[in-house]
A and B are shown apart, each in its own frame.
Chain A
């Protein structure tokens, strides 16, 4: 895994390509020969200098703020969003949910070990799965609609095929796919039912082959629990972003396992990361009570969404279909809708009676689903 380590074999020379200065070797990795006898202190100094230099360079490109350019954009009309459905049935905190591609079904998981598949439109509970562990923090719907993945305190992520036979005990068909050494905080299928991407309290993310349970790629770089991940929306892309307790948001190449970009501007844990629909940017929610917007091309934070009156942590975010609105769920039981471009708050959604654990816009953008510690889910439109 430590592809970087090749270069330090020889003093003063890169072990991969034998060059003595910064270069891009044939394998596409930057490398740099290091002098023998570099101490930890001098290395740290070099590191700090590079960070400063990077900040300087990035700063040069910061010729204007997003919200300034967005002044010419028309102001959004008032949002008339209300609760349209309340999904009751969980016996404890709802920790996660995910929409099915069919735009009306969804899967939710709870602290009491139950995973429920709903037709949110009719409020019908279609499947119920009881897992042997509590705190099922992650769940995802397979693209085909024929299975769900779930995991949490059991350090695993399992895939459960959904049967048409309602009497069948689905938990019996559960198949363990991912194995971490700490809780599983998030999971998502990639473009098919065949691969699963997970993130964990053990500080890593991992890509798994569902059929065999084989670990296809692991992603190391976070220095603390990883709490969230999101796959880039592009059909042609192979990247994803993750965020965690080290306050960093990292962008990864799924093919090589490399960390491509890293963003660190939050003052506390990043609880959630979500891509902007074009894939060129992403948003994050943090315990520092702010949500932030990062652009990959500018390689920097481009907006902060915060207010004096919002003092509780933000736990979850998602964009509306066009990316104009950012819905954020907070530990103060509310959902705030932000104007992504102008940086202002458009609306506050009250209704839940405890923390919001997850918000997700439906695949066609017609509704927002929120999951809460008050044991319910709500559909807003």
Chain B
């Protein structure tokens, strides 16, 4: 069931090449465009100037007429990657590409505030508006919800808050750099986080002050990494040095994007950690070679501390000859199948649903009330009572199945059959249902018992089977199992359905119940007690007469 190794390698190589191509394209795009997309922070060890410093240090005062952002998504998701997370990322990345488009997107601008300029921001309200228009959303609350999710995944963020959510007001948001996008398979290590928090404390800027939870995290990391703290400190210092070389505005943007990245991977306590994965999907989630573990370019140290769930996928074993042959067989059977026309199917579905809609509490309010909304369990008490409501009795007329499903219905039908001296059919059917529910050990014996009771020569409750079914069944009994009576049961069921059941529905016992008018409780109570009284009087009178008779004789 394992995928062949060479193929996997090939795939990986292809993926990596694709990645390279995409990265090249991205870099080209970055060089063509201004600002927003930041070059990756340089590795700490390198002393040579990083790629970033070679880029034109464009000022981002106002968005000059720049070339139209191509509508091609900036998505870095490998188009062949169809793992569940990647599917969502691709969709989000398409949205995020469109929303930043110069003509069709939101207005991203530099805002002059107080003594500073806030580069490259857009208001929450603008984002909400855009989402409503472009995703066909009618309710702003819905747009805020999906926007908050996209933010929580790490694609845009509020510039002044660690909590990643979208507000429908003047709050400023900024878009995340593709480098930090989740589709790059980030799994940043704690050492990276430590470096990040450390360097934040080194920079004397109020806007970079650690939040309480961050300070706590830092303290915890200092304890955990006590022995290599010197190394971490040095890395942090190196990062600070590199950062200082950058343009002030660029720095603002990059800082915020970096912070937003950590808000995703080390979220505020109480916030959803969107990087959590469904363990059932983990095995094939990420190509281990694609996983990025360090923001600051730290080489992997020693043995990979990969979680045990990152095992190579065993999925979708290649079609062997046998598999294909099996499929051919299967397809031939399907071709032979007689199918119904859609128009008929649609009619059938609609009829069924419409018939049951009055019984569906989400469509028709139950009477007297839905216990969950009124906190009154009367509805349940009524359903459990020995006297079924008219509505319930009506349901028994929908199908034999419905009548048998309800214990009261089953009881009444049995009584009716007894009156016709054909109850052995239903009793047989019920016995076979029981047989199927037995523990394996008891099955054989029970199957024999059923034969004795219903089918053997001179059986006390002899049922009428056609000779073919009879033969089949007696054959099955040679090796009795829980399905030995399937044919027979099917035959008897059809018989009951076409014959006894239809008569039952026309019978007095059923019609009386069905037609019974629903009288209010008190009236009914009065009537019954009056009945009881007259009956009891009658009885005592009769009794007296009888005794009188007996005494006299």
Q: Using a CB–CB distance below 8 Å, which chain A residues touch chain B?
A: 2, 4-5, 7-8, 22, 24, 30-32, 34, 38, 40, 43-44, 46-47, 50-51, 53-54, 57-58, 61-66, 68-70, 73, 76, 79, 81, 84-85, 103-104, 121, 135, 137, 153, 183, 185, 190-192, 194-195, 201, 203, 209-212, 214, 216, 223-225, 227, 234-236, 238, 245-246, 255, 259, 261-262, 267-269, 276-278, 280-281, 287-289, 295, 297-300, 302, 307-309, 311-313, 320-325, 331-334, 340-341, 348, 350, 353-354, 364-368, 373-374, 379, 381
Residues in chain A near residue B320, CB distance under 8 A: 40
Interface residues on B, range: 35 or more
* B350–A223 touching, CB < 8 Å: no
In the assembled complex, 10 residue pairs joining A and B whose CB atoms fall closer than 8 Å, in A order, are A53-B335, A121-B377, A192-B437, A268-B82, A320-B363, A324-B357, A333-B149, A348-B139, A354-B272, A365-B361
Expressed in whole angstroms, the Cα–Cα distance for A76 and B360 within the complex equals 12
Of all chain A residues, the one with the shortest Cβ separation from B270 is: A353
Q: Are A366 and B352 touching (Cβ within 8 A)?
A: no
Contact: A62 with B145, CB < 8 Å?
Answer: no
What residues on B are CB-neighbors of A135 within 8 Å? 279
Enumerate chain A residues within 8 angstroms of B5, measured Cβ to Cβ. Answer: none
Distance, CA A262 to CA B405, complexed state (A)? 29
Q: Are B315 and A224 in contact (CB-based, < 8 A)?
A: yes
Q: How far is the CA of A269 from the CA of B316 in the complex (A)?
A: 12
What separation, in Å, do the CA atoms of A63 and B341 have in the docked complex? 7
A40 to B359, CA, bound (A): 54
10 more CB-based (< 8 A) A-B contacts, given A64-B346, A70-B346, A288-B87? A34-B325, A51-B331, A53-B335, A54-B335, A61-B342, A137-B280, A235-B401, A235-B433, A302-B342, A324-B353
Contact A63 B343, CB 8 Å, known A53-B335, A194-B439? yes
Closest CB-CB distance, A111 to chain B, in whole Å? Answer: 8
Q: Is the CB of A209 within 8 A of B331?
A: no
Residue contact B331 to A50, C-beta cutoff 8 Å: yes
Indicate whether B530 reaches chain A with its CB closer than 8 angstroms: no
State A334–B353 Cα separation when bound (angstroms). Answer: 25
Contacts of A195 in B (CB 8 A): 437
Contact of A281 with B349 at beta-carbon distance under 8 Å, contacts A209-B439, A209-B440, A298-B339 already known: yes
Chain A residues within 8 Å of B337, by CB: 299
A212 to B441, CA, bound (A): 8
Q: Closest chain A residue to B372 by CB distance?
A: A381
- Chain A residue numbers with a CB within 8 Å of B321 are 38, 40, 43
CA–CA, A31 to B347, complex, Å? Answer: 35
Closest Cβ neighbor of B141 among chain A residues: A350
> In the complex, A43 Cα to B323 Cα: how many Å?
10
Q: How far is the CA of A46 from the CA of B530 in the complex (A)?
A: 80
- Partner among B135, B324, B361, B436 whose Cβ is within 8 Å of the Cβ of A381: B361
Provide the B317-353 mask, 1 if CB < 8 A to any CB of A, else 0. Answer: 1011110111111111111110111111111111011
- Give the Cβ gap from A103 to chain B, nearest Cβ, in Å: 7
B246 CB, nearest partner CB in chain A, Å: 35
> B404 within 8 Å of A by Cβ?
yes
**B45 at the A interface (CB under 8 A):** no
**Known interface pairs A32-B328, A191-B433, A365-B362; A69-B343 also in contact (CB < 8 Å):** yes
A104 to B372, CA, bound (A): 9
A348 touches B316 (CB 8 A): no
Chain B nearest Cβ from A58, distance in angstroms: 7
Question: Quick one: given A61-B339, A302-B342, are A255 and B486 in contact (CB under 8 Å)?
Answer: yes
Tell me, yes or no, whether B371 is within 8 Å of chain A by CB.
yes
Q: Which residue of B lies closest to A279 (CB)?
A: B401
A32-B329, A43-B324 known; A334+B372 contact, CB < 8 A: no
Contacts A69-B346, A185-B280 given: A4-B326 contact, CB under 8 Å? Answer: yes
How near does chain B come to A189, taking the closest CB pair, in angstroms? 10
Which residues of A lie under 8 Å from residue B356 when comparing CB positions? 277, 321-323
Q: Is the beta-carbon distance between A309 and B146 smaller than 8 angstroms?
A: yes
A334 to B92 alpha-carbon distance, docked (Å):
17
Determine the residue in chain B with the shortest Cβ distance to A368: B362
* B305 CB within 8 Å of chain A: no
CB distance from A116 to the nearest CB of B (A): 19
- Nearest residue (CB) in B for A82 is B373
* B346 touching A66, Cβ below 8 Å: yes
Instruction: Please pick, from A214, A297, A334, the residue contacting B440 in the complex, using a CB distance under 8 A.
Output: A214
Looking at A235, A246, A307, the one whose CB has the most chain B CB atoms below 10 A away is A235
Shortest distance between the CB of A35 and any CB in chain B (Å): 12
Which parts of B212-242 form the interface with A (CB within 8 Å)? Answer: none
Query: Which of A32, A47, A53, A311 is the one whose CB lies under 8 Å from B91?
Result: A311
- A366 touching B343 by the CB < 8 A rule? no
Does B303 lie at the interface of the complex (its beta carbon under 8 Å from any beta carbon of A)? no
Query: In the complex, what distance in Å separates the CA atom of A93 from the CA atom of B325?
Result: 43
Cross-chain contact B84 with A323 (CB below 8 angstroms): no
Docked Cα-Cα span, A364 to B350, in Å, equals 21
- B470 CB to nearest A CB, Å: 18
Residues on the B chain within 8 Å of A68, using CB: 346
B58 interfacial contact with A, CB 8 Å: no
Given the complex, which residues of A lie within 8 Å of B371, measured CB to CB? 104, 121, 366
Cβ-defined contact, B360 with A381, below 8 A = no
Give Cα distance in the complex from A46 to B335, angstroms. 14
Q: Report A-chain residues with C-beta under 8 Å of the C-beta of B436.
A: 191-192
Find out whether the CB atom of A44 lies under 8 angstroms from the CB atom of B84: no
Is B142 interfacial (CB-CB < 8 Å)?
A: yes
Given A34-B325, A47-B328, A322-B359: A211 and B317 within 8 A (CB)?
no
Contact in complex: A323, B349 (CB < 8 Å): yes
Q: Is the CB of B372 within 8 A of A85?
A: yes
How far in angstroms is the closest Cβ of chain A from B21? Answer: 25
Contact digits for B388-419, partner A, Cβ 8 Å, 1 yes 0 no: 00000000000001001100000000000000
- Please, which residues of chain A bring their CB within 8 A of the CB of B317? 223
**Minimum Cβ distance to chain B for residue A68 (Å):** 8
Selected contact of A353 from candidates B272, B372, B380, CB within 8 Å: B272
Chain A residues whose CB sits within 8 angstroms of the CB of B340 once the complex forms = 61, 295, 297-298
Determine the distance from Cα of A365 to Cα of B441 in the docked complex, in whole angstroms.
36
Contacts of B401 in A (CB 8 A): 234-236
What separation, in Å, do the CA atoms of A120 and B311 have in the docked complex? 40
> Is the C-beta of B366 less than 8 angstroms from some C-beta in chain A?
yes
Interchain residue pairs A-B with the least CB separation, the first 7 = A192-B437, A322-B356, A322-B360, A381-B372, A69-B346, A211-B439, A287-B84
Q: In the complex, A311→B143 CA distance in Å?
A: 12
B322 and A5: CB pair below 8 A? yes
Q: Does B202 make an interface contact (CB < 8 A)?
A: no
Decide yes or no whether B20 CB sits under 8 A from chain A: no
Q: B350 and A69: CB pair below 8 A?
A: yes
Give the residue name and chain of the A residue nearest to B352 (CB). A278
Are the CB atoms of A246 and B350 closer together than 8 Å?
no
Cα distance, A83 to B118, chains bound together (Å): 42
Give B92-105 as 1s and 0s: 1 = Cβ < 8 Å from A's Cβ atoms. Answer: 10010000000000
Shortest B420–chain A CB gap in Å is 22
**A212-B142 Cα distance, complex, nearest whole Å:** 51
CB distance from B11 to the nearest CB of A (A): 17
Q: Which residues of A contact B130 (CB under 8 A)?
A: none
Chain A residues near B280 (CB, 8 Å)? Answer: 137, 183, 185, 201, 225, 227
Shortest Cβ distance from residue A90 to the other chain B in the assembled complex, whole angstroms: 15
For B139, the chain A residues whose CB sits under 8 A away are 348
CB distance from B432 to the nearest CB of A (A): 10
Identify which of B357, B383, B486 contacts A364 (C-beta below 8 A): B383
Q: In the complex the two chains form, what is the Cα distance from A53 to B334 in whole Å?
A: 11
Q: Is the CB of B439 within 8 A of A212?
A: yes
**Selected contact of B353 from candidates A47, A64, A341, CB within 8 Å:** A341
